[in-house]
């Protein structure tokens, strides 16, 4: 593994943590996403370039089959699937292909809904592609320091229930009165247990808030472990479009931050764009050229570097220098074995970083932005990288 540094935490989607003697590091971002809505009626299920969703249509379709003397109608439960090539197929509840006349009826009755969902999927696909190269746009400024904002305990204090009042009959009969007293004792017992749980949860919340207040107001200025924890929290909160693994080491009392980042692979990049034709119910899929995929990958990994460097400076006021080194798994041309190769390494000082206008990040060429700093990178204009030796400090 190329992760060279003392600490490593691995936080995968769903937040799984691994602690080992190798240190602390983490992984950011999802491998994919899926949404499912409902179980009955006509549905549009989509699966395209790793993105899946399901949209309920307007309900069971009604097909009309002509007869010599009268017409009859049959309710049909329909599943409509959008495939990677952009085509639609229609099946019944058992997964069997539907007759053409039923398909035509479904299309006619649900045309507007199907078009809306196809357009939504088209926008989602292209938006996902665009997001790969623009994750740096939300990079925070390094001039403001972290501020503790208290999160109040959200559960209101439980109110004790009123005891059951005895009726006239209860007062006249001892057994009825005893039964009522038993019920009231049980109600009070349950409330006491519930209140104790509430009190314990509230106490834990207060303690966590006190710990977080200390971490933000003092810990990130004095303790290396608190600096690591706070940086982890900040990076974990970001919606990373691709899985990104990080290892780190803080030196010189937190003034120097070394980051090794296992970048996404070019094979993780999408290779097709989508559009909705003016005619027909389908998603039009167009393959991207190899050069376009390389440029998208180039933009994405530089945007990742820019964002992580910026988040590090914003989270750690003591950090004066950040060294970011990004590597990828690539086949060795001599042996064919998959090895880790560093694609670029950049050393950034806080002073030079603060010269960036964070209110106009959309005007920045993120690939060129890192060239303002001490940068090791051998890359063509189209995004083909040669391996480099990263900075050690």
| Domain closes at, from 132, 150, 173 | 132
Question: Percent of the chain at pLDDT above 90?
Answer: 51
Residues 25 and 99 in one domain: no
Residue 164 contacts by C-beta under 8 Å, 6 or more apart in sequence?
180, 183, 184, 187
pLDDT at 301: 95
Q: Tokens standing for 141? A: 């400024």
DSSP H stretches of helix in the chain = 100-132, 168-172, 174-214, 220-222, 224-236, 290-315, 350-353, 366-369
Q: Is residue 15 part of a domain?
A: yes
For residue 248, what are its two tokens? 């780190």
Q: Is 239 contained in some domain?
A: yes
pLDDT of 213 above 70: yes
In angstroms, the CA 231 to CA 253 distance is 15
Distance CA 170, CA 149 (A): 54
- Please write the tens of the pLDDT for every residue from 220-266: 999 999 999 999 999 988 888 888 889 999 999 999 999 999 999 99
Could you tell me which residue, 168 or 2, shows the higher pLDDT?
A: 168
Domain final residue, candidates 113, 132, 151: 132
Report the C-alpha gap between 31 and 359 in whole angstroms: 31
pLDDT at 9: 43
| 63-72, 131-140, 345-354: segment of lowest average pLDDT | 63-72
User: How many DSSP H helices and E strands does the chain contain?
Assistant: 8, 17
pLDDT at 11: 36
- The span from the CA of 92 to the CA of 98, in Å, is 6
Residue 186 covered by a domain = no
In a domain, 108, yes or no: yes
Mark whether 15 and 74 lie in a shared domain.
Answer: no
> Distance from CA of residue 154 to its chain's centroid?
25
pLDDT tens per residue across span 268-302: 899 999 898 887 788 888 999 999 999 999 999 99
Query: Which residue range(s) make up the domain with 100?
Result: 33-132
pLDDT reading at 108 higher than 90: no
Q: Is the pLDDT of residue 216 over 80?
A: yes
Domain membership flag for residue 27: yes
Task: Tell me what pLDDT residue 352 has.
Answer: 95
Query: In this structure, are 11 and 108 located in the same domain?
Result: no
Of the segments 18-22, 160-164, 170-174, which one has the largest average pLDDT value?
Answer: 160-164
Q: How far apart are CA 345 and CA 388, in angstroms?
A: 8
Last residue of a domain, one of 106, 132, 158: 132
Examine residue 360 and state whether it is found in any structural domain, yes or no.
yes
What per-residue confidence (pLDDT) applies to 50? 43
The span from the CA of 386 to the CA of 375, in Å, is 14
Looking at residue 72, its pLDDT comes to 53
Of 339 and 315, more confident: 315
Give the distance from CA 216 to its chain's centroid: 25
Distance CA 165, CA 328 (A): 73
Return all residues near 379 (Cβ < 8 A) that are at least 6 apart: 298, 343, 344, 385, 386
Whether 213 is covered by a domain: the verdict is: no
Q: Look at strands 256-262 and 321-331 and give their pairing.
A: parallel
Pair (121, 232) in one structural domain: no
More confident residue, 5 or 229: 229
If asked whether residues 243 and 362 sit together in one domain, one would say yes
- What local confidence, expressed as pLDDT, does residue 3 receive? 60
Mean pLDDT along residues 373-389: 94
> Does 349 lie in the same domain as 230?
yes
Mean pLDDT value of segment 315-324? 96
Neighbours of 87 (CB within 10 A): 13
What are the angstrom distances between the C-alpha of 356 and each of 47, 267, 309, 347, 365? 40, 32, 12, 15, 12
β-pairing, 33-35 vs 51-56, is: parallel
Which of the four pLDDT bands, split at 50, 70 and 90, describes residue 99?
confident
Asked if 2 and 327 touch (Cβ cutoff 8 Å), the reply is yes
Mean pLDDT of the region 128-142:
91
CB atoms within 10 A of CB 319: 24
pLDDT in tens, 336-357: 888 899 999 999 999 999 999 9
Distance, CA of 120 to CA of 127 (rounded, Å): 10
Closest to 83 measured CA to CA, from 264, 274, 226 = 274
pLDDT for the residue numbered 38: 32
pLDDT at 217 over 90: yes
> Domain for residue 391, yes or no?
no
362-to-55, 113, 134, 138, 365 alpha-carbon distances in Å: 34, 35, 8, 10, 8
Over 60: is that where the pLDDT of 18 sits?
no
What's the pLDDT band for 202 if we cut at 50, 70, 90? very high
The torsion defined by the Cα of 79, 270, 305 and 35, in degrees rounded to 10, comes to 0
Confidence band of 35 (pLDDT split at 50, 70, 90): very low
Same domain, 93 and 229: no
Q: Are 40 and 63 members of one domain?
A: yes
Residues 335 and 295 in one domain: yes
Same domain assignment for residues 258 and 358: yes
Q: How many domains does the chain have?
A: 2
Same domain membership, residue 95 and residue 26: no
Residues 105 and 14 in one domain: no
- As a whole number, mean pLDDT of residues 156-170 equals 91
Tell me the average pLDDT across 322-334.
89
Q: Are the beta carbons of 245 and 5 closer than 8 angstroms?
A: no
The model's pTM: 0.73
pLDDT value for 140? 93
Q: How high is the mean pLDDT of the chain?
A: 82
């Amino acid at each position: 593994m190329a992760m060279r540094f003392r600490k490593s935490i691995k936080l995968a989607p769903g937040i799984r943590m691994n602690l080992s003697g190798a240190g602390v590091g983490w992984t950011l971002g999802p491998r994919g996403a899926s949404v499912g809505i409902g179980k009955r009626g006509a549905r549009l299920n989509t699966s395209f370039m790793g993105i899946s969703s399901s949209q309920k249509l307007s309900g069971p379709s009604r097909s009309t089959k002509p007869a010599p003397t009268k017409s009859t109608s049959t309710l049909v439960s329909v599943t409509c699937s959008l495939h990677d090539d952009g085509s639609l197929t229609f099946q019944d509840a058992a997964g069997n292909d539907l007759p053409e006349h039923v398909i035509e009826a479904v299309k006619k009755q649900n045309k507007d809904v199907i078009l809306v969902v196809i357009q939504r999927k088209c926008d989602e696909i292209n938006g996902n592609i665009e997001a790969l190269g623009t994750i740096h746009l939300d990079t925070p400024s390094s001039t403001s320091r972290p501020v503790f904002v208290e999160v109040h305990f959200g559960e209101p204090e439980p109110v004790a229930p009123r005891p059951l009042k005895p009726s006239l009959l209860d007062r006249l009969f001892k057994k009825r009165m005893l039964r009522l007293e038993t019920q009231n004792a049980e109600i009070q017992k349950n409330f006491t247990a519930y209140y104790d749980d509430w009190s314990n949860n509230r106490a834990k919340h207060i303690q966590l808030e006190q710990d977080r207040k200390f971490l933000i107001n003092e810990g990130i200025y004095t303790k290396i472990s608190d600096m690591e924890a706070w940086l982890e929290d900040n990076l974990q909160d970001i919606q990373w479009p691709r899985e990104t693994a990080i290892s780190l080491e803080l030196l010189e009392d937190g003034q120097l931050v070394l980051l090794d980042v296992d970048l996404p692979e070019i094979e993780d990049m999408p290779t097709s764009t989508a559009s909705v034709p003016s005619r027909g119910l389908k998603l039009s899929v167009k393959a991207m050229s190899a050069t376009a995929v390389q440029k998208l990958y180039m933009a994405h990994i530089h945007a990742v570097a820019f964002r992580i460097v910026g988040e590090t400076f914003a989270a750690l006021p003591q950090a004066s220098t950040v060294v970011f080194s990004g590597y990828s798994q690539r086949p060795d041309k001599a042996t064919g074995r998959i090895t880790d190769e560093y694609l670029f390494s950049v050393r950034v000082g806080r002073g030079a970083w603060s010269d960036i206008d964070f209110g106009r990040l959309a005007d920045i060429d993120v690939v060129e932005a890192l060239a303002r700093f001490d940068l090791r990178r051998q890359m063509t204009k189209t995004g083909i990288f040669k391996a480099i030796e990263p900075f050690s400090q």
